[in-house]
Structure 1
């Protein structure tokens, strides 16, 4: 049976790879764990999509993975900053060389258009809108259409990055009918209710919110060095390098790269299949390698002749989310009891083999100034879980725990959902199931395809789920995840977490923080609230584990996702 299964997997790999164009000399083949839902620079919703979008579009500022520093990308230099009472002015100049795919220059008009898209009502911009809400207006230089000033409320140190950390959209391509031309950015920083009846905005929203805007190669044309060549659902996406891309000819910008001729992203959800493709030399890059397999590869001399292994500290963490809208989970003591059954220490030992660090919240423990060291990560304790369940009103009977809720006697049961094919989530679900069984709490473990899981989360149709989030050490914008305003159907606050104090803290972090010390105080308090409410339970930060074929150099291995810069890969001589 095992030989048949392996043969079947080999056949899948064979037909998947053979259905693609012949490999170009400098082609890089990268595994994607999931097929992106869309590649919209505004409404993408996973890391796989973000990695590809970064090769198609650019922001004013971004991180150079070679140095883990923020550098100007579309901007010619870092912005000039002037504080004036309650506002701060950030002045940018766009690189003179920067052009769109049709050869036209990138100008302040495109930045203005982008801000309108990010801030306007009716559009699918829920995840990006909080990031730019402090930007109140844009002033375009009348003498230079590449220069502009952003008018921002208050001042916070991370505003320098936030004013430039969003993908700039081509106005000529996305709005050829000028449907948003009549709107002003300043108008989108006040009451938006009247604009919901704006006919031109409604017409633009119909087009922009359609699936076409996130999948059509003719629309996925940014200022970066690649264009989307092919997207075969569930199999692969290929990007090709633009001819004479402006960034490759710009001096003193080593972080602007588009070197490989073609980049092919292979959609292989199953890690076993991915490892087989790697060992068969059908992949050049594989990340998120399970710890046990990673250690085995470290001992494989034949494999190491062709591949280099890397394990950078990542800014990605695994967490569990509980649906606080369900009556059985409405009491935080019940949620805390479940947190004591998740057992992050055991997960790190068993599934990560030490390639991880337990955490008390969504702040990386490595970021000393913001991490709350006064808290202790939840660790397995049957006694604490039992005591908390009793305090929450649950009564232990012979076949489980029961509580009268809304006049009905209900049993405490948990369905744990996670994306199929991810061993980290699967291990977490199984550990919870085993620990809960010790207290006679039934846990059903349910894996599912990513799009189905995403839909269930958006509709709040779940008990508990396991997922991961990627961040960075520069900005901590948690408003879409934790603010009660985003707990509506379709919003990103899936758990329903939110207190008046946490909402106020999230608003302050995004708008009025004036110093690192104040920001640290707010973030540490937010971690305390998250820890106590136990709706969003952070488990551990991972080390990434990746393999890259030795024929490539200039990898820029980093702790920042995707942990390498494929656009910078160079082909070594003789390889």
Structure 2
């Protein structure tokens, strides 16, 4: 057998050289996979040299007025940083793309607020009481909460939403968000004419009974995005997603209402003068797509006031951006490498594994996980704003993230040994291994375009896997455009073997939405009875005891390191660039400005520009 490169724990200078070689082949694209969205694009401006190393802990989390006078009205310009048109599915019950979610954040409110610990509070559009059984909630929508067309937000609107999610013609993936309601599964299966867990008490009061008491219920475990029944009730459920009520003139009860849409390019919003918290300070908010390659220029010139900022461009550009402030936080997300091992059964709404897939061998997956140095990637590509992931519950949830687990340490020698022991040998002497049956082993790697980092980062992974004798090629020989990437993952495209994704974990630590056997976002299509058992136990009534829930999730994290349907690559920080004329702005969950964007204000008619 051919002798493979075995260099174990190499010195940092060697890693820097390897990353530099990978980066030199790059173009102006980026590779970030998605989530519930919440998928994200990142560019890179410093992949050739590490430069300064930063920590997100050194950044402020919000910008307050602190005595500055806020002008009346004005226009706030917000960037959707992407080289891809947004999809334009402007309703939480149907959307999937992260940029649609960014648009909705200004218009569509949840009925419940939550605090800095991601626990529901009594300060939102609805309040609630919990029965002694721990699973029956009575919600009261405030009298002053109205849709932007003047109609009151009613209990029947919220109940109608669950009926849409459970309808057999519902085309989206949010049905899993409602499956904890008593009777929902029976309704979805056509075994009942109504959802037994829903009871409309009066116009403003809705009682919801859940299947069981769970700690997840108070941490985003309740679907709180209502649909205006008077708008949607005459539209066939199968047609709702493409209807004008979603695509052209949606109705919300948030601080801003949509005035006009240029499909894929921009959305103009006017303030909702009847907003229940009070009239917003800003007259108009314009969200527009801005290519990552021109973002710095747009910020310097004052073309945009607010932008999610690629952390890997910060080191090269922050000194020139004298007209903006940066706020930051630890992101509720992580990037990962996933192995596509099956298909999605649309009739049964479940994932089905295919044992004949090449990546179904856990030894191959473990070896590939040990072959990449994510610490070096975090420093070289992201200047410390990202760091090596170790488990599939990130440190954004410190109670449940097991920081004692080391994950897949970078160890090429170990990776080679795993493959040797599993029977992967170079039969024909070309420097690449065949599978244990002596058949050609070639894997297709799907990675997404967008920003300078995409190509070099994808090539780095491919190079590292080649160093242990695994032949991995880019799917179709190129990076995949954002929408194409997710369409192919959603369809379980069998040409995909390995993919680079990202997942927004949300406010609850429960990982089922990405890794459950019936989770539509489980693009690996991996299933495991023990994993499902643990995930169910982690949201059970017994898990109201936080120590017990922690033990369950520790066991699950260990199982995932053994099974390796995917491995985390990087935990993430998030930066936002904010023009110095913007005040009362926060991206920190639980902040008064995060929950209430009507308080955002401007201190000048025109944005500041860089010196």
Q: TM-score, normalised by structure 2?
A: 0.75
| In the alignment, structure 1 residue 532 sits paired with structure 2 residue 562 | yes
| In the alignment, structure 1 residue 205 sits paired with structure 2 residue 222 | no
Compared CA separation, residues 432 and 349, structure 1 to 2 (3 A): same
Compared CA separation, residues 495 and 214, structure 1 to 2 (3 A): farther
Contact kept, 8 Å, 2:114 with 2:589, in 1: the verdict is no
Contact kept, 8 Å, 2:164 with 2:237, in 1: the verdict is no
Corresponding residue for residue 469 of structure 1 = 503
Provide the C-alpha distance between the structure 1 equivalents of 2:369 and 2:149, rounded to a whole number of angstroms: 53
Deviations 1:358-401 (A, max 9, x none): 22223222433211233213232211111111233211242110
Provide the C-alpha distance between the structure 1 equivalents of 2:455 and 2:556, rounded to a whole number of angstroms: 28
Partner SS for 2:135: strand
Higher share in helix = 1
| In the alignment, structure 1 residue 267 sits paired with structure 2 residue 267 | no
Corresponding residue for residue 208 of structure 2 = 150
The answer for unaligned runs of 5 or more in structure 1 is 7-23, 178-203, 250-257
Shift of 1:131: 4.6
Corresponding residue for residue 344 of structure 1 = 374
Compared CA separation, residues 162 and 289, structure 1 to 2 (3 A): closer
Provide the C-alpha distance between the structure 2 equivalents of 1:437 and 1:480, rounded to a whole number of angstroms: 32
Corresponding residue for residue 307 of structure 1 = 324
| In the alignment, structure 1 residue 122 sits paired with structure 2 residue 151 | no
| In the alignment, structure 1 residue 384 sits paired with structure 2 residue 442 | no
Corresponding residue for residue 457 of structure 2 = 428
Provide the C-alpha distance between the structure 1 equivalents of 2:245 and 2:563, rounded to a whole number of angstroms: 36
Corresponding residue for residue 521 of structure 2 = 492
Deviations 1:232-261 (A, max 9, x none): 233222222223333315xxxxxxxx4322
Corresponding residue for residue 314 of structure 2 = 294
Within 5 A, what are the aligned runs for 1:318-397? Answer: 318-325=335-342, 327-397=357-427
Shift of 1:153: 2.3
Corresponding residue for residue 42 of structure 1 = 93
Shift of 1:147: 1.7
Within 5 A, what are the aligned runs for 1:178-193? Answer: none
| In the alignment, structure 1 residue 439 sits paired with structure 2 residue 468 | yes
Provide the C-alpha distance between the structure 1 equivalents of 2:139 and 2:219, rounded to a whole number of angstroms: 12
Shift of 1:353: 0.9
Contact kept, 8 Å, 2:86 with 2:264, in 1: the verdict is no
Contact kept, 8 Å, 1:134 with 1:511, in 2: the verdict is no
Shift of 1:135: 4.4
Provide the C-alpha distance between the structure 2 equivalents of 1:73 and 1:458, rounded to a whole number of angstroms: 37
Contact kept, 8 Å, 1:348 with 1:356, in 2: the verdict is yes
Corresponding residue for residue 139 of structure 2 = 92
Corresponding residue for residue 478 of structure 1 = 511
Shift of 1:221: 0.7
Deviations 1:425-477 (A, max 9, x none): 544322212212322333323312111111111122212111222234x4134
Deviations 1:16-52 (A, max 9, x none): xxxxxxxx83232323324332223212113222222
Deviations 1:66-125 (A, max 9, x none): x97643465443x211223xx622111111101112212111111111121233333124
The answer for unaligned runs of 5 or more in structure 2 is 1-26, 29-72, 184-196, 343-355, 607-611
Provide the C-alpha distance between the structure 1 equivalents of 2:297 and 2:210, rounded to a whole number of angstroms: 51
Provide the C-alpha distance between the structure 1 equivalents of 2:488 and 2:222, rounded to a whole number of angstroms: 33
Corresponding residue for residue 554 of structure 1 = 584
Shift of 1:265: 1.9
Corresponding residue for residue 483 of structure 2 = 451
Provide the C-alpha distance between the structure 2 equivalents of 1:213 and 1:164, rounded to a whole number of angstroms: 27
Contact kept, 8 Å, 1:31 with 1:283, in 2: the verdict is no
Shift of 1:58: 2.2
Match of 2:198 among 123, 138, 148: 138
| In the alignment, structure 1 residue 401 sits paired with structure 2 residue 438 | no
Provide the C-alpha distance between the structure 2 equivalents of 1:484 and 1:120, rounded to a whole number of angstroms: 21
Shift of 1:507: 2.9
Partner SS for 1:42: coil
Contact kept, 8 Å, 1:356 with 1:540, in 2: the verdict is yes
Provide the C-alpha distance between the structure 2 equivalents of 1:423 and 1:394, rounded to a whole number of angstroms: 35
Compared CA separation, residues 555 and 352, structure 1 to 2 (3 A): same
| In the alignment, structure 1 residue 111 sits paired with structure 2 residue 169 | no
Within 5 A, what are the aligned runs for 1:15-26? Answer: 25-26=74-75
Shift of 1:404: 5.2
Shift of 1:571: 0.6
Contact kept, 8 Å, 1:58 with 1:74, in 2: the verdict is no
Shift of 1:139: 2.3
Compared CA separation, residues 68 and 424, structure 1 to 2 (3 A): farther
Provide the C-alpha distance between the structure 1 equivalents of 2:245 and 2:527, rounded to a whole number of angstroms: 31
Shift of 1:170: 0.6
Shift of 1:338: 0.8
Shift of 1:499: 0.6
Shift of 1:222: 1.5
CA RMSD of aligned residues (A): 2.9
